[in-house]
Chain A
Amino acid sequence: MTIAVLLKQVPDTTAKISVNGGRVDESAVSKWSFSPYDEYALEAALQLKEVAGGELVAITAGPARCEKLLRDAAAVGADTLVHISAENVNDLDSIQIQKLLAAAVEKSGASVIFCGKQAADTNAGSTGPGVAELIGASCVTLVSEVAADGAGYTATRPSSSGHEKVGVSAPCVFAFDKGLTEMRRPNVRGIMMAKKKPIETWSVAYLGVDIGASSVNIDSHSPPAEKPPGQKFEGAESVSTVVGKLRDEANVI
């Protein structure tokens, strides 16, 4: 069995984001990391591999900087590393990316696919279901846990009354929410092995898939509006002013 994990490299959630000429300035991003939900997906995939066996292939699409992400995945236990080289990844829309990922998944021979429910940068949230649709797989979203149960897999996801367990068989896609366990820390042995592991670079042409034209055009990025400065009131005499502001401006009472 081959398990694929779809991973996206995003600016670390602690990194400062600056916008330059209407676009996020990638050169100013001090730290790139796994998208957080992808970490849960990777950890769950590693755990599944530990009980069910098989091989784990880590797949990412993006520019050359993404190779670091694959090495990090290898350091915690990914067996095969696939880099879909797409320097222009930011110009592609979600469907185009899904086509690339789906083609790579098919080429890898994976029948069980893990990914995050959404990426921390674009938050589009369509990769899991989109890839599942393209490869004709079942898809469970907002998953927190996956267990192998002989014939297939049981995925735990939230329901209106608590949690539900959904049984699926391969091919299937699990789009992860916060999982049960944080991604494991690598160790030196894993890091040394990761260094030696080859990265397979697959170009769009090599994948032989027609991704069509982007149907989405981003006009510009802009930073969130700055918060207005706080206001400070002291002493009993300001009570009525504060109450007035809470009622008329903040609409909280």
Chain B
Amino acid sequence: MPYEALDFYDVDSLLTEEERMVRDMVRDFVDEDVIPKIEYACRDGVFPDEWRVALGEMGVLGAPLEGYGCSGLSYTAYGVICRELERGDSGLRSFASVQGSLAMYPIWDFGSEEQKQHYLPKMASGEWIGCFGLTEPDYGSNPGDMITKAEDMGGHYLLNGAKMWITNGTIAQVAIVWAKLDGVIRGFIVEKDDPGFSAPEMKGKHSLKASVTSELVFQDCKIPKDRLLPNVEGLRGPFSCLNNARYGISWGAVGAAQACFDSARDYSLSRIQFTHPIASYQLVQNKLSWMLREITKAQLLAYHLGQKKDAGTWIPEQISLAKMNNVDIALEIAREARDIHGANGILDEYCIMRHMANLESVKTYEGTHDIHNLILGRHITGIQAFTREL
């Protein structure tokens, strides 16, 4: 059955014609090139290279950035792109989020003119893949205490340390690595072949199987002086990137939820138990109407946040709320949808268990659910509760 995107409040009618055309383009790509292959990609644990090519050709990588070969679309359009990609798979959306918001964006915002001209066009076209190294084995939610460090050796920088859980790491030509230089967090552009740099892939994931996750290891890794991002210091650097990626995730999660709803509705209408479709029973209808309710709210949240991003009137706490809420409901919807599918729900013939497992990662990365609660808690009370140390 063809996919029918749930849009109960006609939120997409608020999009511009251009945004709707971008939506249809990405939706067709997902229908034609992603859905038929996604289960194979997951079984093999690979991100199909043709998706990289297609994303570049469509012009959706770094979509909201202006100039340097980037499309210069609205942030709302970027959200729509994330939603449509994640309707296919969170791993696919992760690829695009990392490339655009976490690797291209810091070069675009904090890089030198030469860096922008050198890297951005090739990253927008998908020729070069980027990754973003912030998390370390011992520092996840509190990246500020990271131990990866850079030393100024006069003619070059020397990087030492390790990053973990880095999306696209092994397949990336360009890594944006956050490390401490004289105790201050700075961003560095590390290239695949830099001496002393390796990016082994992490295996054995039950989630985001079609996305590559890696360690980044720096052992006396020597990089030229012009690879420092000149225009940012401190946690503001990585956090500005995360704001954009988290914003995209708040839309992406809606896509995953829509896919699960679509599958659950179709399945419940065709599955007969006790001589009637299970969709005719009140308990099942209650689940479906709850999904409809939550998806509709999440859509309105994402759309309004998009308008605020485009108007420049947003604050990071609003992004935290949307990321946290929309991933939370998407994960719950995936679980309920799995339940409605009964035993069939565990098969890869249906998308739901895959979305459910994916969303567990999405809940954790880009600030865990609870870290976003703490961000909101600090906003409400003015008291930080991340640590007992003040």
Interface residue ranges, A against B (CB under 8 Å): 14, 30, 68, 71-72, 75, 185-189, 191-192, 194-195
| Known A-B contacts A14-B2, A71-B17, A195-B18; A185 and B71 likewise in contact (beta carbons under 8 Å) | no
B42 contacts across to A, CB distance below 8 A: none
| Known A-B contacts A194-B21, A195-B17, A195-B18; A188 and B29 likewise in contact (beta carbons under 8 Å) | no
Which residues in chain B, 153-195, are within 8 Å of chain A measured between CB atoms?
none
| A186 contact from B4, B25, B71, Cβ within 8 A | B25
Question: Can you add 8 more A-B contacts, CB < 8 Å, to A188-B59, A191-B22, A194-B21?
Answer: A30-B4, A185-B28, A186-B21, A187-B58, A187-B59, A188-B73, A191-B18, A192-B18
B4 contacts across to A, CB distance below 8 A: 30
Assess whether B60 is in contact with A188, with CB atoms less than 8 Å apart. Answer: yes
Which residues in chain B, 34-89, are within 8 Å of chain A measured between CB atoms?
54, 57-60, 63, 71, 73
Assess whether B21 is in contact with A189, with CB atoms less than 8 Å apart. Answer: no
Closest 9 CB pairs of A and B: A188-B59, A14-B2, A188-B71, A187-B59, A191-B21, A195-B18, A187-B58, A186-B25, A189-B59
Chief secondary structure at chain A's binding surface = helix
Q: How long is the Cα–Cα vector from A49 to B362 in the complex, in angstroms? A: 45
A189 contacts across to B, CB distance below 8 A: 59, 71
Pairs across A and B, CB under 8 Å, 27 listed: A14-B2, A30-B4, A68-B17, A72-B21, A75-B25, A185-B25, A185-B28, A185-B29, A185-B54, A185-B58, A186-B58, A187-B25, A187-B57, A187-B58, A187-B59, A188-B25, A188-B59, A188-B63, A188-B73, A189-B71, A191-B21, A191-B22, A191-B25, A192-B18, A192-B73, A195-B18, A195-B21
Closest residue of B by beta carbon distance from A189: B59
Interface residue ranges, B against A (CB under 8 Å): 2, 4, 17-18, 21-22, 25, 28-29, 54, 57-60, 63, 71, 73
Assess whether B21 is in contact with A75, with CB atoms less than 8 Å apart. Answer: yes
Q: How long is the Cα–Cα vector from A192 to B29 in the complex, in angstroms? A: 18
A194 contacts across to B, CB distance below 8 A: 21
Q: How long is the Cα–Cα vector from A188 to B63 in the complex, in angstroms? A: 9
A188 contacts across to B, CB distance below 8 A: 22, 25, 58-60, 63, 71, 73
A187 to chain B, nearest CB (A): 5
B2 contacts across to A, CB distance below 8 A: 14
A93 to chain B, nearest CB (A): 32
Q: How long is the Cα–Cα vector from A75 to B23 in the complex, in angstroms? A: 13
A50 to chain B, nearest CB (A): 16
B21 contacts across to A, CB distance below 8 A: 71-72, 75, 186, 191, 194-195
Q: How long is the Cα–Cα vector from A186 to B59 in the complex, in angstroms? A: 10
Closest residue of A by beta carbon distance from B4: A30
B54 contacts across to A, CB distance below 8 A: 185
Q: How long is the Cα–Cα vector from A147 to B185 in the complex, in angstroms? A: 60
Closest residue of A by beta carbon distance from B60: A188
B59 contacts across to A, CB distance below 8 A: 187-189
B22 to chain A, nearest CB (A): 6
B82 to chain A, nearest CB (A): 14
A185 contacts across to B, CB distance below 8 A: 25, 28-29, 54, 57-58
B85 to chain A, nearest CB (A): 14
A195 contacts across to B, CB distance below 8 A: 17-18, 21
Q: How long is the Cα–Cα vector from A75 to B71 in the complex, in angstroms? A: 14
Q: How long is the Cα–Cα vector from A182 to B109 in the complex, in angstroms? A: 39
Q: How long is the Cα–Cα vector from A185 to B58 in the complex, in angstroms? A: 8
A186 contacts across to B, CB distance below 8 A: 21, 25, 58
Q: How long is the Cα–Cα vector from A212 to B108 in the complex, in angstroms? A: 61
Closest residue of B by beta carbon distance from A13: B2
A187 contacts across to B, CB distance below 8 A: 25, 57-59
B28 contacts across to A, CB distance below 8 A: 185
Assess whether B71 is in contact with A192, with CB atoms less than 8 Å apart. Answer: yes
Most B C-beta atoms less than 10 A away, residue of A71, A185, A188: A188
B60 contacts across to A, CB distance below 8 A: 188
Q: How long is the Cα–Cα vector from A154 to B183 in the complex, in angstroms? A: 71
B17 contacts across to A, CB distance below 8 A: 68, 71, 195
A17 to chain B, nearest CB (A): 14
A72 contacts across to B, CB distance below 8 A: 21
B71 contacts across to A, CB distance below 8 A: 188-189, 192
Q: How long is the Cα–Cα vector from A75 to B60 in the complex, in angstroms? A: 15
Closest residue of A by beta carbon distance from B69: A189
Q: How long is the Cα–Cα vector from A38 to B354 in the complex, in angstroms? A: 37
B145 to chain A, nearest CB (A): 40
